Amino acid sequence: MLEQIETLRQQAEQDLAAASDAAALESFRVVYLARKGKIAELFDALRNAPPDQRPVLGKHLNALRTTVQQAFDLKVAGGAQDRPRASKIDLSLPGRSVHAGSRHPLTQVLDEMKSIFVSMGFGIADGPEVEDDYHNFEALNFPPDHPARDMQDTFFLSRNALLRTHTSPVQIRVMKDRKPPVRAIMPGKVYRNEAISARSYCLFHQLEGLHVDEGVTFSDLKGTLISFIRQFYGPNTKYRFRPTFFPFTEPSADIYISCFVCGGKGCRLCKQAGWLEILGCGMVDPNVFASVGYDPEKYTGYAFGMGIERIAMLRLGIDDIRLFYENDVRFLNQF
């Protein structure tokens, strides 16, 4: 059988050398390397050999199959390299334009807002997005029966864990970690269990502000926010404060600015009112100071908060909040 193996090896070498095209190579493969080829036939005949010779014969057969297979693979690879290949580059085609990346419009607006407040002496603080009931509600003077505690408004993860509904909990953490004076803004994501529409989304961003020290007054609050309005919206922007209610500030106010689209005459953006609400603010409630260990008889402070999406929509003339989150390049390229 060793003679048969050697004879087949020589014959295979001759036939492979003579194979000059793809058809001949395929024919060689079928004759020698296929399941029913000549090498496979010798393996089938191995079972009839004497048991003591099978290990040696099997070793030679394996070497034969490996040698022929490698020679065949080299022949096929060499033939593929010899064949002319069509150019992968068509020089007649126009070049591909390079699309430069850019910051998201929300990031652009937020960075500008942060720059304004930092220039007025505010630091920047951050806090966790998964909060507990104490920091999100109780320490901020929310009574147990307040509607904001209802699951219709809040994403509860467990009985005591929830996705923060505003960035105000960061105020509590900042005041617990620092002694007055405190002056910081707290930008970040917040979550509300609301129906998604052109005006509301389950996820949005807020920028919270806090200033606590001895002798801080409502006039300081007004001066800070008026300065922000004039820097952000322009020096000729009209504004007005309107009384409102927040559990964690007293007194509280909403701030409106004159509609920059219609100049206060009334349009679709301002719902014909001529005014646009941009933020809420107020003097920190003494009960909040008590929850963080500040002496309400010694310290006063103000807080304010605004939605970044709303500010960006008003600033950029966007009428659907969902556009910020759809990753539509056609929309993003406009900014």
- Look up the CATH number of the domain holding residue 288: 3.30.930.10
Which CA distances in Å does 298 have to 102, 170, 249, 256, 294? 47, 22, 17, 31, 8
Domain membership of residue 200 (yes or no) is yes
CB within 8 Å of 132: residues ≥ 6 apart: 160, 161, 162
Is residue 147 located within the same domain as residue 210? yes
pLDDT computed for residue 79 by the predictor: 60
Domain membership of residue 32 (yes or no) is yes
Is residue 170 located within the same domain as residue 262? yes
Q: Which of 31, 57, 77 is the last residue of a domain?
A: 77
Is residue 154 located within the same domain as residue 71? no
User: Which amino acid, one-letter code, is at 207?
Assistant: L
Distance CA 198, CA 217 (A): 37
pLDDT computed for residue 320 by the predictor: 85
Domain membership of residue 202 (yes or no) is yes
Domain membership of residue 89 (yes or no) is no
Residue in 188, 149, 150 with CA at minimum distance from that of residue 168 = 188
Average pLDDT per block of 10 residues along the chain, 335 residues long: 80 82 83 80 78 80 83 75 59 80 89 95 94 92 78 82 92 94 95 84 93 95 94 88 92 88 72 84 94 94 93 83 88 85
pLDDT computed for residue 168 by the predictor: 93
Laid out side by side, the sheet with 182-191 consists of 123-124, 182-191, 203-213, 300-307, 275-284, 249-258, 239-246
Residue in 175, 161, 178 with CA at minimum distance from that of residue 284 = 175
Is residue 325 located within the same domain as residue 254? yes
pLDDT computed for residue 66 by the predictor: 87
Is residue 60 located within the same domain as residue 147? no
Q: Which of 59, 77, 95 is the last residue of a domain?
A: 77
Is residue 251 located within the same domain as residue 166? yes
Burial of 54 (0-12, 13-18, 19+ CB in 10 A): middle
Domain membership of residue 233 (yes or no) is yes
DSSP structure class, residue 156 = B
CB within 8 Å of 301: residues ≥ 6 apart: 180, 182, 210, 211, 212, 213, 216, 283, 284, 289
Note whether 303 and 208 are within 8 A (CB). yes
Which domain does 16 fall in, by range? 2-77
Is residue 29 located within the same domain as residue 148? no
Note whether 25 and 75 are within 8 A (CB). yes
pLDDT computed for residue 84 by the predictor: 52
Total domains in the chain come to 2
pLDDT computed for residue 83 by the predictor: 52
Residue in 56, 57, 51, 53 with CA at minimum distance from that of residue 4 = 57
Helix axis angle, 38-45 to 2-18, nearest 10°:
170
Domain membership of residue 100 (yes or no) is no
Domain membership of residue 146 (yes or no) is yes
Is residue 138 located within the same domain as residue 273? yes
Domain membership of residue 205 (yes or no) is yes
pLDDT computed for residue 94 by the predictor: 85
Is residue 73 located within the same domain as residue 116? no
